[in-house]
């Protein structure tokens, strides 16, 4: 049995991992999916004060309070920033770090700077502090209806607060894997950064690189394949 912590992306919640969570638990693995403050089921806690640091602490506190160790930590999409920031506090508890079609930032970067759109998301006096995300595509119309009904806004501070990491990601002793959604168009917002991270992982001996033949919503479209890949990491 292994312990998995699955960290969701922007504009959604932990419910996006519900299929994968069920499949891994059926194999007797311990699986938790913390929901980040201000989005998903915790949208009622949204405020202008919510930033990347809030989400990092959400995950760090979950791991520390549950006393989880030897974990396989998975960050999906925006969750790549969150798991990267969490390493400063819980790296010793991680056995395998997985980026699922996710950002792999360097210390000091924001989501906005990482995708080259920093000037468009600077917080100015009187500016709305909530952002809506791009439309997502799902293979199943039923899954699309279910997920879209639970889609939320996201506080802008989560995209403008920099991540902090005191050492290079490749210097940590845990294993690293990048899983790329092969059918995600590189021209879509954010996807260029995902493909950039994927190419780096593919060419680096410090990473394992895998692909899944679907679009960005991997956990919804290919839960069986994703769960199988994650289970093999145990």
Q: Using an 8 Å Cβ cutoff, are 88 and 52 in contact?
A: no
Report strand pairing: 71-76 vs 30-32: unpaired
User: Closest Cα partner for 154 from 193, 121, 115?
Assistant: 121
Catalytic residue among 32, 77, 95, 204: 77
Q: What Rg, from alpha-carbon coordinates, does the chain have? A: 16
Question: Is there a catalytic annotation at residue 32?
Answer: no
Phi/psi for 63 (5° steps) reads -65, -40
Six token digits for residue 24: 């891994």
For residues 25 and 17, the answer to whether their CB atoms sit within 8 Å is no
Instruction: Report the catalytic residues.
Output: 77
């Amino acid at each position: 049995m292994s312990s998995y912590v699955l960290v969701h992306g922007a504009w959604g919640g932990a419910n996006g991992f519900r299929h994968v969570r069920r499949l891994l638990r059926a194999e007797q693995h311990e699986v938790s999916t913390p929901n980040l403050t201000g989005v998903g089921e915790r949208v009622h806690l949204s405020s202008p004060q919510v930033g990347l640091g809030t989400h990092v602490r959400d995950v760090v506190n979950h791991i520390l309070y549950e006393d989880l160790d030897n974990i396989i930590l998975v960050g999906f999409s925006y969750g790549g920033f969150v798991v990267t920031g969490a390493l400063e506090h819980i790296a010793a508890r991680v056995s395998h770090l997985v980026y699922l079609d996710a950002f792999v930032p360097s210390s000091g970067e924001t989501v906005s700077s990482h995708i080259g759109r920093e000037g468009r998301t600077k917080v100015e006096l009187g500016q709305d502090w909530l952002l809506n995300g791009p439309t997502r595509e799902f293979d199943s119309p039923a899954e699309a209806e279910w997920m879209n009904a639970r889609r939320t806004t996201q506080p802008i501070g989560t995209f403008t607060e920099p991540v902090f990491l005191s050492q290079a990601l490749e210097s940590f002793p845990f294993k690293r894997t990048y899983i790329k959604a092969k059918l995600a168009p590189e021209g879509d917002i954010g996807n260029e950064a995902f493909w950039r991270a994927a190419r780096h992982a593919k060419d680096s001996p410090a990473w394992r690189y895998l692909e899944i033949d679907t679009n960005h919503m991997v956990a919804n479209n290919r839960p069986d394949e994703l769960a199988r890949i994650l289970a093999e990491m145990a």
